[in-house]
Structure formats: structure tokens, C-alpha cells
């Protein structure tokens, strides 16, 4: 499985897990043999959902790219489930048409950061938007398998916090600035960004770029 397909599958499962949890299900990804009903034998689905009736067998298929093997797998699952009314097959289709964002080099990110520092002297709201774009760029460079696609602002902060790249006080500062960022990008031209709010964001981004530069040294 390629990085692109694995990311798409994970995103599809994220979406279906949220949807099914809202309906009262518990979703188990990559279930072990002990999680699976006996009638499946050695068959390994992408996920199962239990806790309500009927229980669900979840399979992820790339829309427009289903192979003969995938088609055969679905038919086999349908045949197995046919004699077990307490279970139902849930097919989840991915949509691979959207391009993956480019993973920028540390040098390119550092160069843009210098431009943002200059921008901050004359347009703080614009500097905040651009600094936030670098926050996501650094997250993608540090975690290419976790952040290969566009991230919501809150998700970016939670990802960097959960993996120890930023502390709780830094996360709180980003969340506060993120509220202003959201208003600006959605057209609220009245929003000001005081220096006391922008400066911590710049310092956090600067530190994260430094971490990235140490992890991925400049090519010689």
C-alpha cells in the first residue's frame, strides 16, 4: 500500500468511525481474530463496528480504482454475511482525486519564515495567516505519514501536542491565536492581531523549524 492510499484509507476510517460512533457503535480497526465473528474464518476486514444491531463489517475501497481482487473480496464477504443476519457489510469509498500537499524542505520553510517576520511589521493579521501555514508545513514535514493531507487548525495543534513537539502552554497560545485566524480567513476584516498574540506564534513556529532543521540537516 502506498503512502497516499494508506492516508486515504485512514481518513475514510476516521470519517466512518465518527459517523458510526454517533449512532452508538464502537469501531475496531484492523481487528484481531478474537474480535471477529467465527463465520469469517481467516478473513481480515479493515474494521468492524459493534455495540448495536446489526454489527458491521467495514471495508475501504478506492472509488474508481477497485481491482478484481477487491471485487472478489467484497463478493466473498457478502456470501459470508448472507447467512448471518446479525451482521451487515459497510463499504466505505475513498476519493483519491484531491492532490496531496507538497512537503516543503526545511530551507524553504525557513526562507518563508524570514518573509513572515518582515510582514509582521506592517500587517499582523496577514502574518498570522502565513505563520499558521508554516505551522502546518512543519507538521507535514515532521510527520509525513500523519499529516500528508491538509489539516484543520485544531487538528494541527492537537497532533503537535500529543507527540510532544509543543507543550500545553504553547498549545493554549496557538488555540487563542487560532480563533483569530479562523475569523480572518472567513472574512472578518475587523479582526486585529496584537503583537502580544502574534509573537508567541512566531516563536513557536521558529522553534519547530529549528527542530525540523536538526532532524533533516541541510544537504551539502
β-pair type (87-94, 55-62): parallel
Cell matching residue 167:
507543550
Alpha helices in the chain (DSSP H): 3-22, 68-82, 106-119, 124-142, 153-162, 168-185, 195-215
Q: What are 128-158's pLDDT values in tens digits?
A: 999 999 999 998 888 876 665 667 788 889 8
pLDDT at res. 66:
53
Using an 8 Å Cβ cutoff, are 212 and 142 in contact? yes
Q: Which residues pair with 163 in a beta bridge?
A: none
pLDDT band at 217 (very low <50, low <70, confident <90, very high): low
Are 135 and 206 contacting, i.e. CB atoms less than 8 angstroms apart? no
Task: Name 73's bridge partners.
Answer: none
Enumerate the domain spans of the chain. Answer: 3-94, 106-215
Assigned CATH topology for domain 3-94: Trna Endonuclease; Chain: A, domain 1 (3.40.1350)
Coil, helix or strand for 164? coil
Q: Is 81 exposed, middle or buried (0-12, 13-18, 19+ CB in 10 A)?
A: buried
pLDDT tens for residues 107-128? 999 999 999 999 999 999 999 9
- Over the stretch 36-95, which tens digit does the pLDDT of each residue have? 999 888 888 889 999 999 999 998 887 655 567 777 778 888 888 888 889 999 888 776
175-194 residue pLDDT tens: 999 999 989 988 889 999 99
CA distance 215 to 37: 45
- Say which CATH class 106-215 falls into: mainly alpha
Q: Per the confidence metrics, is the pTM higher than 0.85? A: no
Q: Give the residue among 194, 152, 187, 157 at the shortest CA–CA distance from 172.
A: 157
**Band of residue 25 on the pLDDT scale cut at 50, 70, 90:** very high
Amino acid at each position: 500500500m502506498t503512502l497516499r492510499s494508506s492516508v486515504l484509507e485512514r481518513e475514510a476510517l476516521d470519517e466512518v468511525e465518527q459517523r458510526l460512533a454517533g449512532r452508538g457503535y464502537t469501531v475496531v480497526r484492523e481487528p484481531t481474530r478474537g474480535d471477529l465473528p467465527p463465520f469469517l474464518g481467516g478473513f481480515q476486514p479493515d474494521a468492524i463496528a459493534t455495540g448495536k444491531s446489526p454489527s458491521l463489517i467495514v471495508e475501504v475501497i478506492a472509488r474508481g480504482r477497485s481491482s478484481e481482487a477487491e471485487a472478489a473480496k467484497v463478493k466473498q464477504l457478502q456470501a459470508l454475511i448472507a447467512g448471518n443476519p446479525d451482521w451487515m457489510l459497510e463499504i466505505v469509498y475513498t476519493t483519491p482525486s484531491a492532490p496531496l500537499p507538497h512537503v516543503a524542505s526545511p530551507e524553504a520553510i525557513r526562507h518563508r519564515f524570514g518573509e513572515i517576520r518582515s510582514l509582521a511589521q506592517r500587517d499582523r493579521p496577514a502574518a498570522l495567516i502565513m505563520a499558521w501555514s508554516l505551522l502546518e508545513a512543519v507538521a507535514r514535514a515532521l510527520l509525513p505519514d500523519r499529516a500528508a493531507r491538509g489539516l484543520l487548525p485544531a487538528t494541527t495543534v492537537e497532533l503537535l501536542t500529543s507527540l510532544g513537539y509543543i507543550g500545553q502552554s504553547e498549545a493554549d497560545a496557538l488555540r487563542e491565536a487560532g480563533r483569530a485566524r479562523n475569523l480572518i480567513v472567513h472574512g472578518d476584516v475587523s479582526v486585529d492581531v496584537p503583537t502580544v498574540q502574534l509573537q508567541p506564534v512566531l516563536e513557536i513556529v521558529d522553534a519547530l523549524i529549528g527542530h525540523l532543521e536538526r532532524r533533516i540537516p541541510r544537504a551539502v
